[in-house]
Structure 1
C-alpha cells in the first residue's frame, strides 16, 4: 500500500525509485554504496526493498552514537539469521567484537541505515579492516556528515583513503511524479480527490515521498479533509524536523546566528554576508555545514531551504 506509513519492503510498493533500485543492484556486485538523501526521500524504503531482494541484513542505527550501540544492533540483527556471536572476556573491545560479527557475515550484503552519528574515527578504522579482510558488501545511508563524510571524502590520512564507496542520491519527486504517486495511492482506496487538491498537496509538501504518503494516509485512512490533512502533516513534520534542527544546532558556537541565516533564505551569498555582518570564512563554514546536513541547498547562486515544512518551521522560530 503506497500510503502505508512504514518503510516499504517489496518492489511493488516502492514508487518511482526503479532506476535507483536497479543501480543499487548493479553497484553492489563490486562496490560498497552510500545512499544519500534528506529525511522523507525514501532511503530506508529503498534499502529495505533491495536487501529483501538479495537476502541481505538490515541494521537500523538511527540515534546510535557509540561503538557498543553499533555492535549490539549488529548482533541483534545477525541473530535473526541464526548467527550466534558469543561475548568474550569481561573486558572486551567493541571494535574487535564487531570484526567477529562481520567475519560470520561473509558473503552477505549488509545495510547500515543512518550511520552518520557513529564515532567517526573508530568506525573508519573498523571499516578498513572489514574492507581488507572480509567478503562483505556494505550499503550505508545518511546525510553528508560524520561517518558518511569520512567515507565519501576521505583525506590522505584516512584509513579508507582510495576506497570511496559509490554514491546514490535520492531527490524528492518532481511535481508530475508526486501527483502520479498520490493519484495511484488514492486509487488503492477507490478515491478521486479533486486534481487541484492533489497538486496543492505536492506543492505544499515538496514532492517528498514520506510526507506525501502521510498526507494520503490522513485522507484515506483517518478520513481527514484536504486542509486538515495538510495541517496534520505539518504538525507531525514540525516535531520531526524541530528535533533534527536542534540536533544540528547543539554544540555550534553561535546557534542563534544559524537561525538568523536560515530565516534570511532564499538569499545569495552577498545578501547573507551583508545581513549577518560576518566575514567570508565564517559564512562559508556555516553554509557548508548546513549543506552537508542537507538542511539547505544551493540553486545557481541562491541558497534555499528545499523542504517546505522546514521552511515554514524556520519562519516560526
Structure 2
C-alpha cells in the first residue's frame, strides 16, 4: 500500500492548524500560524510535527525551530541520496533545476549527454524532474511543487556520465 499526501491549500493548512491547536487547548495567534506556513509550507506531515510539539507544551518558537531543523536534516539527506554515486554533472544539474533551467539549457551548460532525460525514471505520470528536487538553503526550507519530505517522490535512476 502506498499513501501519498500532497501539499494542502494554504486555507486548508491554516484550518488544520487552528482546529488541532484548539482541540489541544493551545492558545495561538494567527500570525504564528502564518509563520508556520511560511517556514514549513503546507505539507500535512510537517504541520502535524509542529502541532504535536505545541500540544505537548512547547512554545511556538521552539516547536517551529525543531520542525524546521528536522525538515532541513531530512531534506539534506534526500539531496545527498539524489546525488550519491553521480558525477559532478549531477550537482550542476540539480543547481540548474533549482533555478528553473530547461533540458536544453542543462544539455548546453552542464555537458550531460542528450540521453540524460531518458535516464530518469519517475514513479508516476504527474512527476517531473522539478518535483524531485529538494533545495535547502541555510536553515530556510523551500520545496518545489509536488515534492515531499520523508521519502523521495520519485525514483531517480540512471546516470549519463560518471
TM-score bracket for this pair, using the shorter chain length: 0.5 to 0.7
Is 1:245 matched with 2:111?
Answer: no
Within the candidate set 52, 61, 68, 1:217 is matched to 52
1:170 is aligned to: 5
1:231 is aligned to: 65
Is 1:263 matched with 2:95?
Answer: yes
Higher Cα radius of gyration: 1
Structure 1 unaligned residues grouped into runs of 5+: 1-139, 143-168
TM-score normalised per structure 2: 0.64
Distance in 2, matches of 1:204 and 1:306, equals 20
Q: Give deviations 1:129-179, integer Å, cap 9, x for gaps.
A: xxxxxxxxxxx227xxxxxxxxxxxxxxxxxxxxxxxxxx53121111111
Is 1:272 matched with 2:98?
Answer: no
Structure 2 unaligned residues grouped into runs of 5+: 141-162
Mapping 1:91-110, distance limit 5 Å? none
TM-score normalised per structure 1: 0.36
Mapping 1:279-298, distance limit 5 Å? 279-282=113-116, 284-285=117-118, 288-289=120-121, 292=122, 298=128
The DSSP-based 3-state class of the residue aligned with 1:223 is: coil
Is 1:184 matched with 2:16?
Answer: no
Return the offset for 1:180: 0.8
Query: Higher strand share goes to which structure?
Result: 1
1:205/1:211 contact within 8 Å kept = yes
The DSSP-based 3-state class of the residue aligned with 1:311 is: strand
1:266/1:304 contact within 8 Å kept = no
1:183/1:192 contact within 8 Å kept = no
Instruction: Say what the alpha-carbon RMSD is for the aligned residues.
Output: 3.2
Distance in 2, matches of 1:234 and 1:305, equals 20
Larger RCO, structure (CA 8 Å, separation 6 or more) = 2
